Amino acid sequence: MVDASVSSANAETPNGSQSITLVMVCAVAGMPIPINYRLDIKRVKGVADHPNWVKKHLAAYRTGVDSKVVRDIKRFAAILKVDSQAVIDGLDKALELGRVAGNINKPTEESRNIKKEVVRGEIPTREEVKQILRSLGGEADEDVFKAAVVVDFAKRGRTLNPNWWEITKRNLIEWSKEG
């Protein structure tokens, strides 16, 4: 979560899905979450499926259909002062890369190769974790942090190990002991 000790007269609290959309836009744009935003971390229903929801809305947008999700993406891009079309293209790319890794249960040669690739996936390094946390304002709710890591890796065309979160949690505990 963003540091609650910082207050702003213009603070905005996006709802749950808007919070995840904002994190995705910031990750793709390589920008920190604006300090005047308070992410809604209480609504967890549907958070895991939100990237698929965004992907569907972006596909509809490509056919000329506007939606609230796309308007939110454009609004957040404008707030960050980045090109909204570049953000949409970046989200498309990141979500497409995530889709490929998500199809590992299909009984095809392609999916068996993808599954082998995923098993050899990567674990975020200590420096990557620090960088992602900095982009989230120094602290993050677990679901927001996990979403930011997934988007960051997808944006770079990298694959996460299937057990990356369990390993990363253990690493975080060890790193905190080291100081």
What pLDDT score was predicted for residue 41?
64
Residue 30: enclosing H or E segment and its boundaries? none
Tens-digit pLDDT profile for residues 133-177: 898 888 888 888 888 898 888 888 888 887 788 888 888 888 888
pLDDT value at 116 more than 50: no
DSSP secondary structure code for residue 179 in this structure: -
Give the pLDDT confidence of 71-110 residue by residue, as tens digits.
988 988 888 888 888 888 888 887 776 643 443 333 445 4
Tokens representing residue 115 in the block: 């599954």
Beta bridge partners of 160: 122
Amino acid at 75: R
* pLDDT over 60 (residue 117): no
List C-alpha distances in Å: 20 to 74, 107, 118, 149: 14, 32, 24, 12
Measured distance CA(143)–CA(109) in Å, rounded: 33
Q: Please report the pLDDT score of residue 179 as a whole number.
A: 65
DSSP 8-state symbol, 32: P
Residue 157, number of CB atoms within 10 A of its CB: 9
**3-class secondary structure per residue, 68-135:** HHHHHHHHHHHHHCCCHHHHHHHHHHHHHHHHHHHCCCCCCHHHHHHHHHHHCCECCCHHHHHHHHHH
Quick one: pLDDT at residue 2?
Answer: 36
State the pLDDT at residue 97: 65
Each residue of 8-65: pLDDT tens digit? 334 567 777 787 788 888 877 777 777 777 776 665 555 667 777 888 888 888 888 8
The answer to whether the pTM exceeds 0.85 is no
Give the separation between CA 97 and CA 114, rounded to whole angstroms: 11
Each domain of the chain, given as residue ranges in start order, spans 16-178
